[in-house]
């Protein structure tokens, strides 16, 4: 089961998200993310958070549709995105794609990237989509489908990552050990239409920027 989570970040062209949303089995909104679902005419399966960002008219509209609302106090030891990730896991999601989770505030962007790490360790597939790029959080293998010349960057989210390899790219790592304090695996280029990134130990964030149009759906 694939769950789509609407966050309250930067979106850009909302129409660029429609194909991704259609591929979801469940729709979950993190607080103000429901404002964007509302603009797209989407009825979420649940709205969760402390409700400090959702517009009153949006809350009222979804209340008339009897959309389940899970409200939490503002003073809490987790973010609204963490709440939604936990709910999605409870639903039995095997794959989670987050929208609006990047951009706006850098601290929120970083928190959203780190928030999915534990679920990745548990075997879930976690990714973030924008009209300009996909970001995948991986601990094993990732096949990227794109166009020659697409930019792909790799960052280590754990302290270090072992057994890292990249095939189908212009540059290959000089060492199978990568450290988060030495982020050199930036701005690599696809040489064909397919590239593979592998890691044996540790967690990576892989950024795939598109050279033309929207990217392909997240790899399975």
Q: Taking a C-beta distance cutoff of 8 angstroms, is the pair 16, 36 a contact?
A: no
pLDDT of residue 76: 77
pLDDT of residue 220: 47
Helix, strand, or coil (residue 130): coil
What DSSP letter does each residue of 142-175 carry, written as one string? EEEE--TT-EEEEEE-SSEEBS-EEESBS---S-
Q: What is the DSSP letter of 216?
A: P
Closest C-alpha to 190, from 212, 205, 208 = 208
Domains plus CATH for the chain? 1-131 (3.40.50.10240), 133-220 (3.40.50.10240)
CA distance 36 to 55: 10
Chain segment 109-163, per-residue pLDDT in tens: 999 999 999 999 999 999 999 999 999 999 999 999 999 999 999 999 999 999 9
144 Cβ partners below 8 Å, 6+ apart?
A: 150, 152, 168, 190, 194, 195, 196, 197, 206, 208, 219
CA distance 44 to 122: 25
Q: How many CB atoms lie within 10 A of CB 212?
A: 9
**pLDDT string in tens for the chain (220-residue length):** 999 999 999 999 999 999 999 999 999 999 999 999 999 999 999 999 999 899 999 999 999 999 999 998 877 778 999 999 999 999 999 999 999 999 888 999 999 999 999 999 999 999 999 999 999 999 999 999 999 999 999 999 999 999 999 999 999 887 788 999 988 899 999 999 999 999 999 999 999 998 865 555 455 4
Between vectors from CA 166 to CA 164 and to CA 171, what angle results, nearest 5°? Answer: 120
CB burial of 50-78 (b: ≥16 within 10 Å; e: otherwise) equals bbeebeeebbeebeeeebebeeeeeeeee
pLDDT of residue 73: 83
Look at the block and give the residue holding tokens 């790592």. 173
Burial of 86 (0-12, 13-18, 19+ CB in 10 A): middle
| Pairing between β-strand 69-71 and β-strand 46-49 as defined by DSSP bridges | parallel
């Amino acid at each position: 089961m694939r769950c789509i989570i609407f966050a309250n970040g930067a979106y850009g062209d909302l129409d660029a998200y429609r194909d991704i949303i259609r591929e979801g089995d469940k729709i979950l909104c993190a607080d103000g993310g429901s404002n964007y679902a509302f603009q797209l005419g989407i009825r979420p399966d649940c709205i969760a958070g402390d409700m400090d960002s959702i517009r009153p008219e949006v809350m009222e509209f979804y209340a008339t549709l009897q959309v389940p609302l899970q409200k939490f106090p503002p003073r809490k030891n987790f973010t609204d995105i963490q709440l939604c990730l936990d709910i999605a896991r409870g639903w039995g999601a095997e794959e989670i794609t987050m929208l609006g989770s990047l951009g706006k505030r850098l601290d929120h962007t970083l928190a959203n990237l780190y928030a999915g790490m534990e679920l990745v360790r548990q075997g879930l597939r976690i990714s973030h989509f924008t009209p300009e790029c996909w970001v995948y959080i991986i601990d094993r293998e990732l096949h990227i489908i794109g166009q020659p010349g697409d930019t792909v960057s790799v960052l280590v989210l754990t302290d270090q990552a072992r057994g890292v390899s990249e095939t189908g790219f212009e540059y290959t790592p000089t060492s199978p050990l990568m450290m988060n304090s030495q982020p050199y695996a930036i701005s690599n280029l696809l040489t064909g239409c397919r590239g593979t990134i592998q890691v044996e130990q540790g967690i990576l964030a892989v950024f795939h920027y598109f050279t033309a149009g929207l990217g392909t759906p997240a790899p399975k």
